[in-house]
Amino acid sequence: MQAKPFTHFPPPPPPPSTTKPSLVHQAPLSPATTVPRAISISTPDTRVAIPVPVPIPVPAPPTVELDDSITAFWDYQFLFVSQRQETTQPVTLRTVEGAIPPDFPSGTYYLTGPGLFTDDHGSTVHPLDGHGYLRAFTIDNNNVGRKVKYMAKYIKTEAQLEEHDPDTDTWRFTHRGPFSVLKGGRKVGNTKVMKNVANTSVVKWGQKLLCLWEGGDPYEIESGTLDTVGRFDMIDGCDSREDERSHGGDAWEFAAGLLKPLLYGVFKMPPRRLLSHYKVDASRNRLLTVSCNAEDMLLPRSNFTFYEYDSNFKLVEKQEFRIPDHLMIHDWAFTDTHYIIFANRIKLDVIGSMGAVCGISPMISALTVNPSKPTSPIYLLPRSSNKAESKGKGRERDWRVPIEAPSQMWLLHVGNAFEISKTAEGSLDIQIQAAACSYQWFNFRNLFGYNWQHQKLDPSIMNIKEGENELLPHLVQVSIKVDGDNKWEECSVKSMKKWKKSSDFPVINPAFSGKKNRYIYAATSLGSRKALPHFPFDSVVKIDLSNDSVQTWSVGSRRFVGEPIFVPKIGDHHHDDEDEEEEDVLQYAVSMQRCYLVILNPKKIGTSNALVARMEIPRHLNFPLGFHGFWAAEKKI
């Protein structure tokens, strides 16, 4: 993040020392002398819950301006305060405002994200390396009471079992993680780098509940108890040997052959890593995932394998692609006929590599963004299930040649992609809705403002000067036109309608995934707080793509929001009327010293009565900011 900080935060007073930096063991303090760990996450018409950290004593500031600077710093730190406590039995949440609607479907909202960042030996890790903490909000709307029950447990990955002592409830980090440096552990020669923390996303498919991470197998969880079953081999041990034979003369394959013993043997990386972002094709009732090779991180070529599973988790499609470019992919898109890869281009950082190997900087320091091209390459990869359909409609396009978007953007998350027109001659018009940022702002080592030297989060990195908003994450619409001969005709990128404020986590009604949608929702910031104008997010934005209208709902002062989750009504997928897309949504919000599960009416976002219900998480179970969630509707027997 090379942009200049928007302001200077005064040095914060040190929090009281504790043997275990846990939310659970900190007593509540008077509002006049505390800075609560406020965090909230919202979503359009959603039902979600969110964590709030416990207060830390801070001396009363002498001026209002200084107070906001100090509280802003601590509010930001509190988004990522460790929660060591788990639940053994479901906890019924108390409704503090409104009521759950009678027509709200029964089901469970699962949210995964990091839960622990600081051990008992002086090390604090990056949020992306925090151990996965799975939260579950079960809404039972079959009875008169319409109760919400909450559970939360750590995902018992191999790293979690090694680093946590259940008898003493103490932690010692031994794995560095790709984004962190250990202060109280071994540095030089520490090959325990790829710590699978299963903290990024969650999905329930084919009766399996899975928590995913960016660098290894997902972990299967027992849905009723949240107990960890174990690693789930989702890609069936694929090691790309067939792919290697077909590219035996490739010089980079020779280099890959030299790297594999080091990566697989020394660093214990799996041959292929599954990306944490999956897609659900609602029209075909399929789960789509993608993996890439471990050595691709260090080579100027990328291997992607796409998998499609039916409702019983049976693999029905598998297709491999090799792209001659050095890419870092977090999210991607699909349509009826294509998989879409946005080429976030990277390169090796020689100086950073030396520090990473020596253990004095994070392993991710070996990589940096590659802004050498003024355009953004986009790869349209054909879905195999539509090959027969496309036969005879013009010659097949060489998918190795990217489409060049006219602006430089680093893609973060995709909301939806679809084909809006296809003539008899075979022309194609593809629309993608996503969140993207600038190469000039994005920096692997400083994500979330992490500073491994001081082990603090710097909020100024996420809040640059006013007028530079285009550098920050914001919503974009990408349009691609391909003619009947599969030749690229046009590609454009523009900010989504009139909303240019800092935004991320775009979502839609999942029944419309891969199809034309009218509405899109995202977490955003209205910029009303001078000290934290862009992040953390404090509002939900709803955009009506049909008429260019924008509506927002704000969670309130010193409260924040994250990824929205849309909860469709039962039977939604049978409707083709776009107005039916606007249904109940799951949203989670965090307020001062409390976390709340918040339900919004998406049709009333922008009005004073959008909030439908707010449920309170007990103070001792407040939890840090989550990443991605999933709504699993109750199956009718």
- Residue stretches of the annotated binding site: 247, 330, 413, 628
Q: What is d(CA 172, CA 65) in angstroms, rounded to the nearest whole number?
A: 39
Q: Which residues contact 40 (CB under 8 A, 6 or more apart)?
A: 50, 52, 538, 555, 556, 559, 560, 561, 562, 588, 589, 590, 591, 595, 596, 598
Q: Which of 543, 550, 582, 589 is nearest to 98 (CA)?
A: 589
Q: How far apart are CA 173 and CA 163, in angstroms?
A: 5
The Cα–Cα gap between 550 and 606 comes to 8
- Cα–Cα–Cα angle for 203, 77, 85, nearest 5°? 55
User: Rounded CA gap, 152 and 87, in Å?
Assistant: 6
Task: Please tell me the distance from the alpha carbon of residue 427 to that of residue 487, in angstroms, as a whole number.
Answer: 9
> Cα separation of 449 and 461, whole Å?
5
* CA pair distance 87, 24, nearest whole angstrom: 12
Chain centre to alpha carbon of residue 55: 26
- Please provide the distance, in angstroms rounded to a whole number, between the alpha carbons at the two ends of the chain: 52
Q: Which helix (H) or strand (E) holds 149?
A: strand 147-154
> Which one, of 304, 126, 140, 108, lies nearest residue 223 by Cα?
108
Residue with tokens 């006049």: 32
**Residues paired with 503 in a beta bridge:** 524
Three-point CA angle 173, 290, 506, nearest 5°: 80
Q: Residue 11's closest CA among 69, 80, 86?
A: 69
Contact 41, 1 (CB under 8 A): no
Task: Name residue 169's amino acid.
Answer: D
Please list the helix, strand and coil fractions of the chain in percent, rounded to the nearest 5, in that order: 15, 35, 50
Outline where 4-104 has alpha helix (H).
64-78
Alpha helices in 364-513 (DSSP H): 387-390
Annotated binding site for Fe cation: 247, 330, 413, 628
Full DSSP string of 88-116: SS-EEPEEEEE---TTPPPEEEEEE-EEE
Cis amide prior to 536 (ω within 30 degrees): yes
- Is the Cβ–Cβ distance between 420 and 429 less than 8 Å? yes
* Residue 611 CB contacts under 8 Å (≥ 6 apart), including other chains: 97, 98, 553, 598, 599, 600, 601
Residue burial 163-195, b: 16+ Cβ < 10 Å; e: rest = bbeeeeeebbbbbbbbbbbbbebeeeeeebbbb
